[in-house]
Structure 1
């Protein structure tokens, strides 16, 4: 069978790191890892699953699932402390920079997004001057399954507020499928971002302030057996507070370390590693 155009163009010339953050995803992580079957050989140079000290059996489930893809270089890493979702991003971004990757793809371990949605947009992104490619649940072409109308309305409201604050139309503030150009990550202080679930909100405001060129693409999004860690009203108040602070006290916002972790250290321990039989 001949190579696909994506396969021919990417091959091994671009080094993509696939980063999967995980917390209490024992049931979902095998399905996320199975998505490796949906990408062409050469597209994923390495995969890291970063577990934020889950009390369930997610680590064991990830190891077993990765064993079905022995040709993919992969690691399962456990954070040495409770860093939150944002802290896990910092572990992965640091790893991508230190190991010389070109791009880092974020695919959440709760199996709500599909990496296949990103593939048609990769080549246009690669040949552009954009700094990131962000999955959007609320733009034309996106598909939502079992997502409440209340939460959809809330997202549209906050997308509008952040768009006004950032001076650019934003279609999503933080889905579970994003791609960042690693050389762009070296030019922003992402370690200042909050370590909790608001990490992406800080990230999008800081990157807009830094002059990043953001690109969005429509994704499919579903809620089946996932357990949400978001307390809606508390999260909404926090989100409103941070965007208002950005609008009113922009320089103070940008100059503040919101992480609550002044040592800026995010060590993580590799608990499983598999070399590649051949590069996928």
Structure 2
């Protein structure tokens, strides 16, 4: 059976019109100057050092190539099972962005078959996600997906999301714990209340039918990232702001957006459920709602 680890450097063009560069020893862990680690130029240099697969040799599902991004920070023991659970018949590449972990996250991800991009330090949740998305965009994958790096999502829900996107000619599909058939395992009362209130505010401010605006599970077409109204490289998006920003700007730009029911499994040990800091992290998620609605950010 094919493993994601068998991604070899391709010679010449990769089928997208971009020269596919051979892997080098470039890694942000080896760079002394870390002042601009979050810049687009640095991330693109880091991405260019990674191997890629010829377009013709990629796994296709219903004639589309799919890449999953998993941002991780100190997720040893969780990232491996998450990577291995991603269906190989559906997804060509799992890209784990090791966000400055100090444990065995990167090695565990590699051993499980993921392509790993390592940051020298933690660039924030947003910084990790956008590195993975940029890799997918640069390498010409048709669909990009984001899953939690701590094995809280069920990767098999990707089938439902991708099928809905294709069958209904959608641009963006968000996962929802609140739709019928959606599941929430070990979800605390406080998290339940906060996510429901947030989604209610989201619907009011942006006049959408989104039921779960804080869910990190999503699949969308590569072309969404080409939207001139979407700029993921703004400094204020390094933390938890990036995910709501992406959803808001996609909805506001007229793309076809919908939801599918998904399962979110929270770990029984409460300290393993999240790395969010109370108040500070929730403000990070709330900020885009108001800043974008008031046109204070774009």
Q: TM-score, normalised by structure 2?
A: 0.72
Query: How has the CA–CA distance of structure 1 residues 242 and 75 changed in structure 2, closer, same or farther, with 3 Å as cutoff?
Result: closer
Query: How has the CA–CA distance of structure 1 residues 119 and 198 changed in structure 2, closer, same or farther, with 3 Å as cutoff?
Result: same
Is 1:235 the counterpart of 2:277 in the alignment?
no
For 1:15, the equivalent position in structure 2 comes to 65
Alignment length, in residue pairs?
A: 234
Could you tell me which of 116, 132, 151 is aligned with 2:191? 151
Could you tell me which of 108, 120, 143 is aligned with 2:160? 120
Aligned residues of 1:12 and 1:45 also touching (Cα < 8 A): no
For 2:80, the equivalent position in structure 1 comes to 30
Q: How does 1:1-280 map to 2 (within 5 A)?
A: 11=61, 13-36=63-86, 39=87, 41=89, 43-66=90-113, 74-187=114-227, 188-192=230-234, 194-224=237-267, 225=269, 226-247=272-293, 249-250=294-295, 252-254=296-298
Q: Which runs of 5+ in 2 are unaligned?
A: 1-59
* Structure 1 residue 169 displacement after superposition: 1.6
Q: TM-score, normalised by structure 1?
A: 0.77
In 1, the alpha carbon distance for the partners of 2:287 and 2:223 equals 31
* Structure 1 residue 137 displacement after superposition: 1.7
RMSD: 2.1
The SS at the match of 1:96 is helix
The SS at the match of 1:125 is helix
* Structure 1 residue 117 displacement after superposition: 1.5
- Mean CA deviation greater in 212-221 or 122-131: 122-131
